[in-house]
Amino acid sequence: MVKKDLLQEAKRRFCAELNFEDLNCEVVVSRPLSPRDAIGDPGRNDFPILRGKEVLMQAVYKDVAGQAFTSSKGSFKGTLRDVLDMPLAGSFERAVLVSTINAVLRYRGLIDKTVHCKDDGPKRCADCMAYWIKEQHVDDVGLIGMQPALLEALVRVQGAGRVMVSDLADAGSTRCGIKVLDGMNPSEMFERCQLILITGSTIANGTIDGLLEKASYHKRRVVFFGTTIAGVAYLLGMERWCPCST
C-alpha cells in the first residue's frame, strides 16, 4: 500500500492555483520568529514556543505573511519556484512550503487568519473554546498537540475525566490532572473520543497522515486548530478552528 502524504496532495492542488508568472515572485521565509514576535506576552510561560519546544516560521509573499509552527530551525530565501522545487525532506522543508502556501493563498484572498494571535489572544482563544465545545454536545474530546490554554478550557467545560491529550514533547507528564499520551501513538484517544482537536502543526511534522487514518477507521470527527494548517485545510476541505488569529 502506498503511504499517503497529504502535504504532497495539497502541494499539487496549490500548484494548480498558480499562474506561470507567479513562480518567479520572491518569497522570503525568515529565520524563526522570536517568541515575543510570535505570540507577544500571553501572561503565562508554558506555551511550547516559550519553552523552546518549537519555533514559528514566517513566509512573506508580496508583503503578506503566512506562518507555520515547526520543531526545526532554519532560514530560507528564494522564489516561489524555489519553494516548490524543494524536496520535502524534513520538518523544516515542510514548514517552508506550508508557510508559503499560507502566505500566497492569503494574498489571493482565499484564506484568512494566517498570523498567530498575540498577547491576550491565547486567553481569548481559550474562552472561545469553552463556548464552542459546549455547542458540540460530545461526551469525550481529545486534544492532539499541547496548547495549555485550550486544554484548561476543555477541562473546565468537560471535566478532566472527559478529556484526553497527547503530545510529542510532553508525553508521560501530567497536565491539568490528565496524563499526556504519546503523540506518536494516541490510539486510545481515537477509540474513546467522539471529537478530536488536532494541532495544525501536524502537517509540518508529517504526523497528520497517520492521525487521519485512525480518525477514519474509528469514524471520528476531526477539527484542526491554529494558523499553520490554514492553507492546507482550504485546499483539502478540512474543518479548521482558529478564532483569534489575524
Phi/psi at 206 (nearest 5 deg)? 85, 5
- Asked if 131 contacts 107 with a C-beta cutoff of 8 angstroms, the reply is no
pLDDT, tens digit only, all 246 positions of the chain: 335 799 999 999 999 999 877 899 999 988 889 999 999 999 988 888 988 889 999 999 999 999 999 988 889 999 999 999 999 989 999 999 999 999 999 999 999 999 999 999 999 999 999 999 999 999 999 999 999 999 999 999 999 999 999 998 888 899 999 999 998 889 999 999 999 999 999 999 999 999 999 999 999 999 999 999 999 999 999 999 999 999
Domain boundaries, the chain: 6-107, 121-241
Task: Report the C-alpha dihedral over residues 209, 61, 246, 101, rounded to 10 degrees.
Answer: -10
What's the predicted TM-score (pTM) here? 0.94
121-241 in CATH: which number? 3.40.50.11590
Measure the CA–CA gap between 183 and 180, rounded to whole angstroms.
8
pLDDT single digits (tens) 137-185: 999 999 999 999 999 999 999 999 999 999 988 888 999 999 999 988 8
Measure the CA–CA gap between 243 and 246, rounded to whole angstroms.
9
In Å, the largest CA–CA distance within the chain is 54
| Amino acid, res. 208 | I
